[in-house]
Structure 1
Amino acid sequence: RAGIWNIGAEGQYVVGGIAGSAVAVYFFDVEAVWLLPLMAIAGILGGMFYASIAAFLRIKYQVNEILVTLMLSYVAVFFLSAMLQGPLQDPSGFNFPESRMFHDSALLPIIWQGTRVHIGLIIAILLSFIAWFGIKKHMFGMQIKISGSAPRAAKFAGFDDNKTVWYSLLISGGLAGLAGLFEAAGPAGQLTPGLPSFYGFTAIIVAFLARLHPIGVLFSSLLIALSYVGGENVQIDYNLPKSITQIFQGMLLFYFLACDILIKYKVVLFKTIRQPL
């Protein structure tokens, strides 16, 4: 909505997971209620820090944030590998590149017994409504919408473009970092090389399917989640490759964008050329 394209949410997701997991590993023997909130704060700050690199380069040197955030995603994956073979590696893990198993106080509480559904679902729903309120009812949301749709009008209104860039990237980076921490402290229960699951890139499809609406994200994310579950079943039943899920999601995005073009523009097959008198 702000005209700022954070394509590298995957990198911020990974760095947030690393930062939050580092807290869990450092306080491995501690059992306290403050541990999980501290991990969440670390994950948010990790994602915000990684997104701030793109914001700084965009404002200071006019570097395109699409390229910066995308390339930093690959750097984050290598950084994860270095951490799992160094400071965060489990000393009793037979040299496997993974961290210790988190303490029970560092794991997200399960809200539906017998499943892997944890409290992160409730937090995601709350954050969606907070984002909706901020965009619809707050001056900051108006600033974002005007800056993205009419940059010149935003300048006449006195909105600071640099602040819009900073706020947009820091908020999105913080949320991506929190998601990375939820993945590590949720189903996995430890930091592993499998943390980068392309969820950051999938979030782009989710956002477009929701037409950039915070509440719509709840429904579009459910659709994409069903595609993941269905893709796993198809792999098992029909012996299809893992990439079938990504192919389906990519086709879904392209068809959606094509429908947008056909709705907004009129397709003219032949154009009549008027002869000068």
Structure 2
Amino acid sequence: MGICDNRTIIVTGSGSGLGRTYALALAAEGANVVVNDINADAANGVVAEIKAAGGAAVAGIDDITSMAGAANIIKAGVDAFGDVHGVVNNAGIVRDRMFASMSEDEWDLVIKVHMKGHFCIANTLVKHWRAQVKDGKKVDARIINTSSGAGLQGSIGQSNYAAAKGGIASLTLVQAAELGRYGITANALAPAARTGMTEGPFGEIMKKPTDGSFDYYAPENVAPLVVWLCSPLSAKVSGRVFEVEGGKVSVANGWKTGTIADNKARWNPADLTAVIEGLIAKDPAPQKVYGT
């Protein structure tokens, strides 16, 4: 018996990297997995791995950045397993460039894959779950989004990626606030692990140890939290962003209203210098941007 028995979970971008480890871990805990990847060979390969281990899976190779593609991925899960109970929005790309040198295409593509990809499949699923609720069915559904440390505190050379991931963190808060009435939770991950997207900038730091010691940046270290978030055990947790790396897990402490200076009237612009300096001095300094 596993903690995800009888649940069907879509994992986007699960033909390799973190997504593949999520799919394998979910299947090991009893979930039926829809392995989504636009690389059909990669998706079918993960499906074969899951089935060889005694699990249940089906491939969904449509593009997550269109509503039609999202609908087809969901249909693959419903046709194979009767329903879908959650999605792990994992698919992503990077097009790293210093902000002053970034092209319009580099900006648009990263925003599309991350933000629109998160929107299309979650929006389509939410409509599916809301219809079930209106028909009197009890729903216990999950949206697990993927943010990033770059989205929470910024990252030099990744303004497009950081903006998308910051937007996803905010999206998660809104989803949680709006969708709880339907039995849907929404949470997000900010994982640190060795994947195709981190091999370039962090390859030396994240390389696999050769001495048999704990592989701190192995993507498999992130998977247990994903499995738990997809399970019924997480039903009371929503609207949170979890940072996870190695054996560490924490709940991110995001933007909050800081110390307030109230003039009880309109400010004189020149007077704000001392006021702003005082406010900044009173509140904790933000974490440093990655790369600074």
The TM-score, its normalising length taken from structure 2, stands at 0.27
Specify which structure has the higher proportion of strand: 2
The TM-score, its normalising length taken from structure 1, stands at 0.28
Higher relative contact order (CA 8 A, sep 6+): 1
